[in-house]
Amino acid sequence: MTLTTSESRFHSLDAVRAGALLAGIVLHATMSYLPGFGALNWPIADASTSTALGLTFFVIHIFRMALFFVIAGFFARLLHQRLGAAGFVKNRLRRIALPLLAAMLLIMPLTIAPIIWAAMQVGAAKGGPPAATLPPTLGPPVPLGHLWFLYLLLMLYALLLPARALLARLDTTGTARASVARAVSRLVQLRVAPLVLAAPVVAALLSAKWWIVWQGIPTPSVGLLPNFPALLVFGLAFSLGWLVHREQSILQSLARDWALHLSAALLATVAAIVLAGDTLHFGMQSLGAAELRGYAVAYSLALWCWCFAIIGVAVRFLDRPAPRWRYLADASYWMYLVHLPIVWLLQAWMLRWPVHWSVKFTLSLGVTTVLLLASYRWLVRGTFVGVFLNGRRQAPMAPAALLHTVPR
């Protein structure tokens, strides 16, 4: 999934994309230890739980996938500009559609075994959370699991290309499209872009009567059609990334205001936690109308402010060649695709251990990370699997190289 231009490489955005995918591994590693998860009849729910991990899960979930789709939109336009529409389609089928199909056939079945093993240990019914904790299923209830983001990417590509072709036909000089990109840049410069982007998200969340506030943006992990709030948020994020590539001065504005956006993200996150209550609720909870509206506003603002802050920090501090981030950017796709069976197997293995959650969490995350990095180094990088995922064969990198960065 890594892309380059003939002139330069966007090192900072490589780092952001890698961080967004790797944060998903941390997020899934917390799930077994979340307070209240056992009440959902989730078999891999440990008796030792942590409010700190619950809040970690909540905060990561606010921005992680929106951030990924901003970066995906940015690199999508870069690739479209470089390869043209036909080349873009061919590339995305090879780099996204085929890995999705392979992962659905080879990886998704492996996630079932840890669930069954955990259910046998605790005497619980097999299966995941009850349907009441999930968004309404639209279309056939196909389980996409943690691979849903690839499916949604393909859907966004399918929506994008005809729309882009129509706009190009109507706007032959590109003047109108350039004006839209400049308007977005102006909103970012005026520091009101998070407010503008949050408005439709608030409306979408409040219109979903089934919305579970602590779950944030409802994950479209089941069904061939995504729920509307998810489609809106991730579609907006993807479109924003596309426009940022067209008007790259936006990146410098974000780098300038990273501290402002980070402060706003932290304040909005705290406000959301206070309004929703600091106890995790993974089912429907009754909030007053004012509290629900306030929460939706705070959560939506936090989402965009976190995205802007993280991209700004990366552009400000990571915009140079760095072997570690380059390596992780290359590895992150593989690591995210295959991590879930490993994480769940380790959590199921430790389920009945009479030790503190901190030991189990550290062990499961640490062992998973080592296995993923080792498998990438020896089984993927430099092999046909690496070509399948990243489009080229990578030379093995010496471990010592990862300890140093290239100076400016």
Q: What is the pLDDT of residues 342-355, one digit of tens each?
A: 999 999 999 999 99
- What is the pLDDT averaged over residues 109-114? 93
| DSSP SS3 for 138 | strand
How far is C-alpha 18 from the chain's CA centre? 10
- Provide the mean pLDDT of the chain: 89
Per the domain annotation, does 382 fall within a domain? no
Number of domains in the chain: 1
Per the domain annotation, does 38 fall within a domain? yes
Per-residue pLDDT, 395: 60
- Residue 226 in contact with residue 220, Cβ under 8 Å? yes
Per-residue pLDDT, 285: 66
What domain range is 261 assigned to? 11-321+338-366
Residue 168, pLDDT > 60, answer yes
Q: What is the pLDDT of residues 250-260, one digit of tens each?
A: 999 999 999 99
The CA distance from 321 to 38, in Å, is 45
Per the domain annotation, does 145 fall within a domain? yes
Residue 391: DSSP 8-state: S
Per the domain annotation, does 373 fall within a domain? no
- What is the pLDDT averaged over residues 316-340? 92
Query: In 3D, which of 407, 377, 402 has the Cα closest to residue 324?
Result: 402
The CA distance from 227 to 209, in Å, is 12
Per the domain annotation, does 187 fall within a domain? yes
Backbone angles phi, psi at 117, to 5 degrees: -60, -45
Per the domain annotation, does 296 fall within a domain? yes
Per the domain annotation, does 388 fall within a domain? no
Rounded to two decimals, the pTM is 0.91
C-alpha triplet 272, 277, 280: angle, nearest 5°:
100
Q: Which residues of 154-163 are buried (b: 16+ CB within 10 A; e: fewer)?
A: ebbbeebbee
Q: What is the largest CA-CA distance in the chain?
A: 68
- What is the pLDDT averaged over residues 152-161? 96
Per the domain annotation, does 401 fall within a domain? no
Per-residue pLDDT, 256: 97
